[in-house]
Chains A and B, each alone.
Chain A
Amino acid sequence: MWLRFWNGLFKRLQLRESWVIFFALGTIMLNYPFVQIFNRTDTVGGIPLLYLYFMGGWVISIFVIYLFTRASSLSGDHQDEGEQR
């Protein structure tokens, strides 16, 4: 089941649209008003929430880009297609 999940995910990640969506998502999550959600004085385990949000979000985006590049490596033959569309 996991294998199928990963295959499906990789296939979706090969689409140029997925890149754009993640880029847009990142932009939204780094901007007002979304940031406002975490813009509080609370701390989690002694670490300020906003700081944790950014650092955590950063790690997640790096992982997502990593997945993207893995996906596009798998479909190396189709890499130019997105450009021609």
Chain B
Amino acid sequence: MRTSDDRSQRKMGNAHMTATLRMRLPAAALFLSAVFATGAALADGKIAVITPYLAQPGTQFYVEAFQAAAKDKAWDVNVIDTKGDVAAVISRLEDAATQKVDAVVINVDPAQVEAGLAAVKDAGIPIVGMDAGASPYLVTNVTSNGYAMAADTAAYVANRIGGKGNVVMFVFDAFPPVQVRGVIADAVFGNNPDIKVLDRVTPDVSDGGIADSRAKMEAILAANPDKGSISAVWAAWDQPALGALQAIEAAGRQSEGIVITGIDANPQAREAIAAGGNFEASMAQDFHGIGAAAAEAVAQTLAGKPPKSSVTYVPTKLITADNAGD
């Protein structure tokens, strides 16, 4: 690699411009100096991390953890945020292929950027997904295990109600990552002969999911007015759990011991769980763990031993009143 002194001399020679011209073109001068300020260091590997979603908290955690791991490995990581522009992700993937980086990490739905992924793969560069979705273009996709998260919360519900009672399920089968959660919960409840699934509700999510879930739960509460007629609400994600909680509290039935669980452990859900009411448990994804595991998958791939599975799972954690504030 050339030193920057060497580079600047060559540039002076090549740019061949007079002082007057230079003044007329302050843009170019600024451009050159800024580039030197951020010149890349000598590194063991050049990794491009490309996402349109860096503004979202989850993605920020992945990327920070990835960068921390990359620092230990002395990689030169270039994080590219296209600020919501998915077509720009394709463009930057093409650039990374041209640049011949050593590996590419993406956090975007692979189906929407296949043109770019194909260019990277054609250049012989491995691609690792960081909670990206499954795709034949990826060496592996590092994510949380939706099956396991649903099993944990459904088992929590079954155990909390002593394997007996009526359960209301909130599901969303149109979205594959959430659909798998419902399937697992069905299996857990089906394996308990004294648990009856009272209703399997698909809420309207266009308003975020809380309001319609609340309305649906209010109707179910009205149809089952007796104390003890509903033992638990299992929700495939947090918003319906929060809506069900609002409905139960509005109906004045919070002392009946109805157990509610969600998945994702978003801040609003954590607050409700910490308050010690009916909403008792949710699942937290380990965003830092996903970033670190993605770095590990890149390291293994660069070392010639790519992960065997097309999906790499990072463990998740059950959140209850005991650890909701962590």
A and B part of one assembly: no
Binding site for A on B (CB under 8 A): none
